[in-house]
Structure 1
């Protein structure tokens, strides 16, 4: 009987071991599959990000070339050459200008040409006598002459294994088109400059096709100009190109996505079909419509995944060995194991109960603190509301009872406005005590009025040693919240005041209306248009570059402990950005600090009664 009992125990242990081993294998395989799919998905998203980045780079590149050609079209020598050609005179100075332009951008362009308003070629550089060089299509020249707009042509095969595009810019004088400038871009050069350096993996690359399936940019020059699927089927009829056809269909119909397929690496076309991961996106500009395709070797992703599988297998084996050892020890010390399990279970439950008790007490203390703060905040806010109510009531009664021309009218009106602003702040405090999100009320405001009101508030605080210089020259309206904007300005005034320790401190406040052109929007990161610029300057201690880089970080402060929270300027920046504006700070040690705020102005027809805030 003892032998049978021991056998049953051993048999039970073996069955448990088999069950655990099976469960470990299933869980390990599921984890491996999930990890594999996650890695592939992440890599596909990464390749798609690369493709989108290439698309943005191409757009920026073509815009840059277009802008360069626009500057050249305004060159007085070019205009003079076209005017003299129109009168039948000969002029040569434009040739030097066009040659200089080409030499500056020769690493990216193929040629530059100048046509008159009749479509006749006046000059091209580099000068060539070859009849094989493609002349600009008359239809494109006519299109630009009639529309007076820049035109970007569709790609064309300019020579063997090389595509080009033309950018045509009208030369306008006195609102009349007197000629056309043409900049021919070599797509091979553009590819080598922008796309070829991008290496997704060891063997991966990016390529560009047009909507007809012809390859227009590729790291292997022999591939340029061929119709991808048709040529591959002809060269390798024994291979299955179904997946490549499906990829091409998706690229044309969907425009953006990713796909796994089998193809060759054309750097070594003799090898067998290999699995690739491909991500693609669409690029459009003028008449251009390209497919940007980025691909990498599937094996480069598969290798680390297999390494993960090996690690999981080793870990599973270690776990199995540990389980076997544990089962053996348990089998030998059955009674002691049960006693230890009961004791461990008791201690675990006791520890869990203790942890829950500590967490419960912490939550209770936190809740009590928040309740006390909320009650105190609400009480203080209501008390201030009670004090403000008679101020608002009596000031309104006085405003109604006296004439507008009375000398006291403006003073009473100022009291009424201040009380209204205080009531708005109290509303925000009450909302905070109720844990509500405060949505500021925006309206159309006179920028000058907001700035002048903030200066009135700060004048009563600043010492006589600090002089305020006002240059208020804005006539525009802005859309915003006056209380928040005054909070921004008062914060800046206070910072300037704290930085000016000398007796001859100067606080300068300026406003002006400006227009941000298309050339300036990249520097300021603002859309071109009309803006109100508010500037606060001081001749205080200033800041070094290290401090200047951190001023908008939360909780960063240069003040002594207890005198600054590090929340002022981050809040200021958030308010300005909520008003669709930007803030810039310049500072120099022992010279002073200048803060520029740009707020978008609104059209004049939005003007309404702005006397109430």
Structure 2
């Protein structure tokens, strides 16, 4: 470095100017590169934020539309029930009054009954109904319609009995003007409502009402390319929620000019079917302001950069006039400062990258450590089998095995930091133990005036679920019961539980739930509080609905309760009468597990006596196919099974495993949970027809909901938590062969 500095000091002024020019070029290239990267990140962030806001707008509008359709549907049912036994004239007066009170959105009410038909000044045959309809329930439909040449209407028809019906004729254009026209979405954006078949129900363009969003526009504009639009519409009609960019046209402008659009869409569920709510905006409305603002910032930065650079060049030319030794000192000082700044910046960036990697790669770290622990524990187990128990080598091997087990616990704790794993980790739980713990939590918040009792008949009964979420369900309902009782003396909460067969379930349990499981755990939580009216009972699971005053309730407790119960493949309902109390009924599918025998088998397979281990493997005639992308794990398992007299073939991909199964016979298959992004559950599903008698096991880093459901539905026979061992796999195979549900944790 010292020699280079001396050589630099001997350069003349022209050579130094050339060096400055080279440095400027390098800095300029770096600036352009960094500016491009910053622009991409800035554009991605701002546009992503705009997409999120558009999707939130679409979801809010969908909620509003669901509420409006639900309100009109309830009005139809209620007024029909009220008026059906009245005279024809009274019915007409009632519906006419309803129409006048809800105008102008309700354009007309058409009443068809035993006495005839009544409308508002035109015969019903002038109302032309579209071929498509949206089913709200078995007696109520939402149908696009036109009156004469005007297509901006929707008919909500309720037919309680054949030959008698009442229909609300809704003016879609007026509703659109009242609700959606005031929503400003960019310079040319708008809101579109379609039914599940693609018929446009609401649109800012008058000529768009009642046409099919694709076929209708093909007829109106035969030369337009609708390929991009159709791909996006297909996603909408599947009931998806999302934001997409696509090529389309401004249908509300003359000639329908081409444009790049952005659409945020979501379904509005109105019963058995749904409507599509789509918020559409010109892509340039987002992109151009972002581009303009960013390049203004870049322009200011370039000016500052050029100014600073000019000043630096000028100062450098002044430095040339100084003595050679001072120039060298100044150069070395500046170089040292730049190197320090670069070093500090690199350390900061590297630290941030390490934090990001640790945050996003937690699952991968756990997977790799499990693969490392498998041979450590396996070979330590081999050493204990081969060495005398009173030898120093045996003690050393046992210490290695114990340390590896502690490492396994640490890896499980690291995995628990993943939010996804926390939310989806399901285990086989002792129903009695979980319920008793939850009741204790409720007891801890009960005031002195409330007596909590319980009767639980759940010995030996298990459910598949997440204990934290189940505790939250019981606590939510218990707290609601405490609030319902208040401070009155003699308050009681009773919790009871039992097991029911499928045929013993109440009629309120959906048919699909009954057919999926043979046994259910029923949990009843009963209180003698204020109870609920029928109207409140219907809305109790709606988010943000609450009867508590003064801001004391959020209305989310029971909504979250229903969501958790549904995620556990269960069902929740309630019986209540105002002033007499409430009973909540919870149903969870019951699973089988012979806990004592599983524990006995675990002790048998895990003991370290080599003679017993060999004895268990002798003359089994068993053959196992192992699938894992880690060769060390495969070598250990092959060696372990060979010592036990079990034939084990190992492959490193699902394709190789499929070929093995085609050409040979195996009693069992144990596969890594994910190999190159492919799920072992999907692979097991694909080979069931190929090898119908094969016992299918999954070696899992983390038991998630997909894995638990696959086992419950018979797609796989069990799973073994990693790090795996020969004993764990053999125990799982043995239990599966006996027809039991396997859980290895």
- Higher relative CO (CA 8 A, sep ≥ 6), structure 1 or 2? 1
**What's the CA shift string for 1:70-102, capped at 9, x where partnerless?**
222322x31x24xxxxxxxx6422222222332
Matched with 2:177 is 192
Matches within 5 A, 1:233-244: 242=224
- Distance in 2 between residues matched to 1:58 and 1:544, nearest whole Å: 27
TM (normalized to structure 2)?
A: 0.45
**Aligned partners of 2:76 and 2:158 also within 8 Å:** yes
Tell me which moved more, 205-214 or 192-201. Answer: 205-214
**Aligned partners of 1:163 and 1:186 also within 8 Å:** yes
**Aligned partners of 2:95 and 2:109 also within 8 Å:** yes
**What's the CA shift string for 1:144-187, capped at 9, x where partnerless?**
9xx99314254122243433232332335xxxx57322222222
SS at match of 2:127: coil
SS at match of 1:66: helix
- Distance in 1 between residues matched to 2:306 and 2:465, nearest whole Å: 67
For structure 1, the residue ranges without an aligned partner over 5 or more in a row are 82-89, 234-240, 356-429, 496-503, 519-529, 538-542, 553-571, 584-594
What's the CA shift for 1:30? 4.6
Asked whether 1:249 is paired with 2:230, we answer: yes
- Distance in 2 between residues matched to 1:293 and 1:598, nearest whole Å: 40
- Distance in 2 between residues matched to 1:576 and 1:324, nearest whole Å: 69
**What's the CA shift string for 1:569-605, capped at 9, x where partnerless?**
xxx999999989999xxxxxxxxxxx999672458x9
SS at match of 1:191: helix
Q: CA 1:432 to 1:299, structure 2 compared with 1: closer, same or farther past 3 Å?
A: closer
- Distance in 1 between residues matched to 2:54 and 2:347, nearest whole Å: 50
**What's the CA shift string for 1:277-300, capped at 9, x where partnerless?**
231647586788768462236145
Q: CA 1:180 to 1:101, structure 2 compared with 1: closer, same or farther past 3 Å?
A: same
**Aligned partners of 2:494 and 2:527 also within 8 Å:** yes
Matched with 2:188 is 203
Matches within 5 A, 1:112-511: 112-116=109-113, 122-125=116-119, 127-129=120-122, 133-134=126-127, 149-171=138-160, 179-208=164-193, 216-221=201-206, 223-224=208-209, 227-228=216-217, 230-231=219-220, 242=224, 245-255=226-236, 258-261=244-247, 263-264=249-250, 266=252, 269=254, 273=257, 275-279=259-263, 281=265, 292=278, 294-296=280-282, 298-299=284-285, 301-333=287-319, 334-341=327-334, 344=337, 435=413, 442-445=429-432, 450=436, 454=440, 469=451, 509-511=493-495
TM (normalized to structure 1)?
A: 0.53
Asked whether 1:532 is paired with 2:524, we answer: yes
What's the CA shift for 1:444? 3.9
- Distance in 1 between residues matched to 2:124 and 2:443, nearest whole Å: 77
- Distance in 2 between residues matched to 1:33 and 1:140, nearest whole Å: 44
What's the CA shift for 1:264? 4.3
- Distance in 1 between residues matched to 2:281 and 2:288, nearest whole Å: 15
- Distance in 1 between residues matched to 2:309 and 2:294, nearest whole Å: 22
C-alpha RMSD of matched pairs (Å): 6.4
**Aligned partners of 1:468 and 1:509 also within 8 Å:** yes
- Distance in 2 between residues matched to 1:354 and 1:29, nearest whole Å: 23
For structure 2, the residue ranges without an aligned partner over 5 or more in a row are 1-8, 320-326, 349-407, 417-424, 480-487, 498-505, 510-521, 530-547, 573-580, 595-745
What's the CA shift for 1:308? 0.9
**Aligned partners of 1:110 and 1:185 also within 8 Å:** yes
- Distance in 2 between residues matched to 1:62 and 1:200, nearest whole Å: 24
Matched with 1:71 is 78
- Distance in 1 between residues matched to 2:193 and 2:30, nearest whole Å: 48
What's the CA shift for 1:312? 0.9
**Aligned partners of 1:204 and 1:294 also within 8 Å:** yes
Asked whether 1:20 is paired with 2:6, we answer: no
Matches within 5 A, 1:78-89: 78=84, 80-81=85-86
What's the CA shift for 1:466? 5.4
Of structures 1 and 2, the larger Rg is shown by 1
Matches within 5 A, 1:514-593: 532-533=524-525
**Aligned partners of 1:162 and 1:186 also within 8 Å:** no
Asked whether 1:97 is paired with 2:94, we answer: yes
Q: Count residues with an aligned counterpart.
A: 447
What's the CA shift for 1:29? 3.9
What's the CA shift for 1:6? 0.9
